Amino acid sequence: MIRLNGINRNFTVGDQIVHALKDVDLAIAAGEYVSVMGPSGSGKSTLLNTISLLDRPSFGNYELNGKNVTDLSDQELARVRRENIGFVFQFFHLIARLTAAENIEMPLILAGVDRNQRTQRVEQAIAAYGLGNRADHRPDQLSGGQRQRVAIARATIMRPGIILADEPTGNLDRHSGIEIVDLLERLNRDGVTLLVVTHDPALGKRAARRITMVDGAIVSDSLAGSTD
Amino acid sequence: MRAADVLLLVAKSIRAQRLRSALILIAMAIGVAAVIVLAALGEGARRYITGEFSALGTNLIFILPGRSETTGGQPPLLGETPRDLTLDDALALLRSPYIANVAPVVIGSAPVSGGQRERESNIMGSTSDLLAVRHLNLAQGRFLPEIPAQRALPVCVIGQTVRNELFGSRPVLGQWLRIGDRRFRVIGVLASEGQSVGVDFDEVVIVPVASAQALFDSPALFRILVETKSRGATMPAIEDINRTIEERHEGENDVTVITQDSVVHTFDVILTKVTLGIAGIAAISLAVSGTLIMNVMLVSVSQRTAEIGLLKAIGAASAQLKILFLAEAALLSLTGAAAGLAGGYAGALAVARLYPAFPITVPGWSPLAALATALATGLLFGVLPAARAAKLDPVEALARR
């Protein structure tokens, strides 16, 4: 479902060119659970941004669900993102002035879903993520774990096939972290492709498929159970 | 994204940033209120002045002896003519089918005494037609009788001031008044008119025109007032006047003809332009509000960088972000404009209360113009922040906490 061919991403910093991704080839099938690990600056965030279509590769070819998405217009990219990809961030990125329910509703509003259907889907999500009594709270009235649950509810409200999580537990205490990972893995068991970027080895090892990056290149790509 | 949702999101964002929104609203409201009040003052001035002139009477033509020439030696201004305007000239005009009334006017000054008192007063000689032509009202008695203009009759109609100063509160109708060396019987008192463009009818004593000519021992008329039958009759009436005068004055058209319409129209045009100019100056304050909006919106964009990045990540296209920010600027400026409209009308009302004589009126175009300008500035100055928001790199925007 995700197929990257010869992806390169170069940044110009001052008069130097930084190669954030070097000839990355990667194929991820639907329903896989993949972790991407590596030190800071190894290019794992850039890889995530490329897959999520927030960033465009300098060279290379990207196919999503069998469709070339390398050269789509802004409008089309937004639609593809909306329908296929859910984001979970380290810093939650909830809109502070909106309530939990309103945050969860945002992707539906952007997609132009009508009000009745929105309310119904948001209610379902709130119940599913155990936020029943927190729906009308603003993010600053929620705990870290609750905030991340709101973020996951928002990421899944459009029922995307792919969830991208960038250090989803990086800002949480251990207990909340386990809870969140649990939620994400449950989604994966339901068939969602899960891609987790982390430099926490314990989290990375939970994935069935582990990718390690160094200096913009994939240096290892192994399945759980195989030797590494 | 649905329009109703855009409005809702924008309203939430405006509510969330209270101080910022309040500042913009105040700036916009002051600008719009200034446009409304200043335009209303200008319009009031226009109405006041044109009203003054219209009060002279409608369909009025003034004929003055002498003609202003733009050629030849010394500058003979008005009144340089060997031929006087006579009573016969005035009566000849009545033959025109376009002319309803003709009031010949003689003006002079003479000592007037009644009872034991005497004062210098303006004497106006005219005919019964003057009542209709100048829209005069009587407080008491009646106006000059309808007699042939050539006939002198020892009767007079007096203004309020003359009446008060000579007779006090005593009954005045039927009393004798001495003007110069002649005696006139008072048959009417004019209602107080106040000043009416140059002539103070409170200060005047009106006598039949032939009597005035005899009094001043001169056949010359000061001017002739002509009332045409309708507004449309003005132009043919002027032609008739010119032709008649030319025939009677040995082929020389030596009078000046002024229509009241042309005077009113000139003032109307000038004052409308002045009003527009004033409103234009006030509109500059709207442009200032516009820059303020842009400033605050730009700050808002940089403050909301992470939010914009997030919106992109969860599927907002650049165009949608642009719409959101533009809608925010538009809603802010429109709300401010609405507050300004209310303030402007309140201001106009306050002026109307303070100066009831001044016909302050908010001209119909000004609220529309103010609203349009407010919306245009809001959008114009919202474009840059919106474009900046839309162009924001989501990766960088999200990298911030």
Chain A residues touching B312 at Cβ < 8 A: 54, 78, 81
Inter-axis angle of helices B318-354 and B18-54, nearest 10: 40
CA dist., res. A153 & res. A145, Å (int): 12
The two tokens of residue B252 are: 């020389």
B18 touches chain A (CB under 8 A): no
Question: Which of B253, B274, B295 delimits the end of a domain?
Answer: B253
Does residue B336 fall inside a structural domain? yes
Q: B314, A87: Cβ pair inside 8 Å? A: yes
Q: Does A106 touch chain B (CB under 8 A)?
A: yes
- What chain A holds in terms of domains, given with CATH numbers, is 2-223 (3.40.50.300)
**CA distances to A54, A65, A86 from A77, in Å:** 8, 14, 14
Nearest to A107 among B5, B306, B315 (CB): B315
Query: How far apart (Å, rounded) are the C-alpha atoms in residues B259 and B239?
Result: 12
Cβ–Cβ contact B316 with A under 8 A: yes
Q: Looking at residue A133, what DSSP letter applies?
A: G
Q: How many other CB atoms sit within 10 Å of the CB of residue A226?
A: 8
The parts of chain A modelled with pLDDT lower than 50 are 227-228
Closest CB to A52: pick one of B4, B12, B313: B313
B5 touches A at CB < 8 Å? yes
Distance CA B115, CA B176 (A): 8
Judge: A79–B317 Cβ closer than 8 Å, yes or no.
Answer: yes
d(CA A57, CA A55): 7
Chain B, window 281-310: residues with a beta carbon less than 8 angstroms from a chain A beta carbon: 306-307, 309-310
Q: Which residues pair with B266 in a beta bridge?
A: none
Cβ–Cβ below 8 Å for B9 and A111? no
With a cut of 70, say whether residue B70 has pLDDT above it: no
Per the domain annotation, does B74 fall within a domain? no
- Chain A: residue nearest B1 by CA? A112
| Integer Cα distance of B218 and B309 in angstroms | 95
> CB–CB of A93 and B306 under 8 A?
yes
One domain for residues B158 and B129: yes
A79 lies within 8 A of chain B by CB: yes
pLDDT at res. A226: 57
**Residue B340, number of CB atoms within 10 A of its CB:** 31
Non-local CB neighbours of B355 within 8 Å, separated by 6+ positions: none
* Residues ≥6 apart with Cβ < 8 Å to A100: A94, A126, A131, A134, A135, A136, A137, A138, A139, A142, A146, A150
Question: Cβ separation of A74 and B13 shorter than 8 Å?
Answer: no
Contact between B31 and B344 under an 8 Å Cβ cutoff? The reply is: no
Report the pLDDT value the prediction gives residue A32, as an integer from 0 to 100. Answer: 94
Is B62 contained in some domain? Answer: no
Q: CB of A214 within 8 Å of any CB in chain B?
A: no
What phi and psi values does residue A19 have, to the nearest 5 degrees?
Answer: -95, 100
| Mean pLDDT of the region B16-30 | 86
- For chain B, the helix, strand and coil percentages under 3-state DSSP, each to the nearest 5: 55, 20, 25
CB contact under 8 A, A93 and B309: yes
Residue A191 — φ and ψ, nearest 5°?
Answer: 110, 0
Q: Which of B223, B253, B283 is the last residue of a domain?
A: B253
Q: Is the pLDDT of residue B19 over 90?
A: no
Q: What angle do CA A24, A30, A34 make, to 5 degrees?
A: 55
Question: Are the Cβ atoms of A93 and B398 closer than 8 angstroms?
Answer: yes
Q: What is the mean pLDDT of chain B?
A: 84
Answer yes or no: do B120 and B13 share one domain.
Answer: no
pLDDT confidence of residue A142: 92
B65 in any annotated domain: no
Same domain for B237 and B381, yes or no, is: no
Give the model's confidence band at B185: pLDDT under 50 very low, under 70 low, under 90 confident, else very high: very high
For residue B73, pLDDT over 60 is answered with no
Closest CA–CA distance from residue A164 to any residue of chain B (Å): 11
| B35 and B117 both lie in a single domain | no
Q: Where are the alpha helices (DSSP H) in B258-317?
A: 260-303, 305-313
Per the CB < 8 Å rule, is B307 touching A95? Answer: yes
Domain boundary, last residue among B205, B220, B253: B253
DSSP strands (E only) in B115-154: 117-126, 138-141
d(CA B78, CA B222): 12
Find the CB nearest A97 among B13, B310, B395. B13
Mark yes or no for CB contact A95/B312 under 8 Å: no
φ, ψ at B71 (rounded to 5°): -120, 160
Domain presence at residue B148: yes
Q: Is the pLDDT of residue B327 over 70?
A: yes
3-state helix, strand, coil in chain A (%, to 5): 35, 30, 35
Indicate yes or no: CB of B314 within 8 angstroms of CB of A112.
no
Considering only CA atoms, which of B104, B66, B102 is closest in space to residue B210?
B104
Euclidean distance between CA atoms A93 and B306, whole angstroms: 7
Q: Is beta strand A217-223 parallel, antiparallel or unpaired with respect to B117-126? A: unpaired
Helix (H, G, I), strand (E, B) or coil at B46: helix
Contacts of A69 in chain B (CB under 8 A): none
Q: Is residue B341 part of a domain?
A: yes
d(CA B289, CA B240): 58
Select from A75, A93, A102 the Cβ nearest to the Cβ of B310.
A93
| B208 has a pLDDT exceeding 90 | yes
Number of domains, chain B:
2
| Same domain? B269 vs B389 | yes
Q: Give the DSSP H or E segment for A116.
A: helix A115-128
User: Which of A97, A106, A158 shows the shortest C-beta gap to B16?
Assistant: A97
At B198 the pLDDT is 58
- B296 with B378, same domain: the answer is yes
Do B98 and B44 lie in one domain? The reply is no
Based on the number of CB atoms within 10 Å of its own CB, is A174 exposed (0-12), middle (13-18) or buried (19 or more)? exposed
Q: What ipTM goes with this model?
A: 0.89
**Is B258 inside a domain boundary?**
no
Is B248 found in the same domain as B273?
no
Q: What pLDDT, on a 0 to 100 scale, did the predictor assign at position A217?
A: 92
Same domain for B350 and B288: yes
Nearest in space to A162 (alpha carbons), one of A30, A13, A20: A30
d(CA A199, CA A35): 10
Q: What percent of chain B has pLDDT over 70?
A: 93
In angstroms, the CA B258 to CA B238 distance is 9
Is B292 found in the same domain as B226?
no
Residue B72 within a domain: no
B49 and B191 assigned to the same domain: no
Q: Are A45 and A213 in contact (CB under 8 A)?
A: no
For residue B284, give its domain range: 3-53+265-399
pLDDT, tens digit, 9 for 90 and up, residues A35-68:
999 988 888 888 998 998 988 899 999 999 888 9
By the CB < 8 Å criterion, does A12 face chain B? no
Which residue of chain A has the CA closest to B5?
A109
Residues B224 and B31: beta-carbon distance below 8 Å: no
Mean pLDDT value of segment B20-37: 87
User: Given an 8 Å threshold on Cβ–Cβ distance, is B317 in contact with A93?
Assistant: no
Which of chain B's residues have a Cβ under 8 Å away from the Cβ of A52? 313
B366/B330 Cα distance (integer angstroms): 19
- The dihedrals phi and psi of B222, each to the nearest 5 degrees, come to -75, -45
Whether B165 and B209 map to the same domain: the answer is yes
Nearest to B314 among A49, A97, A107 (CB): A107
pLDDT computed for residue B79 by the predictor: 47
pLDDT given for residue A196 in this prediction: 94
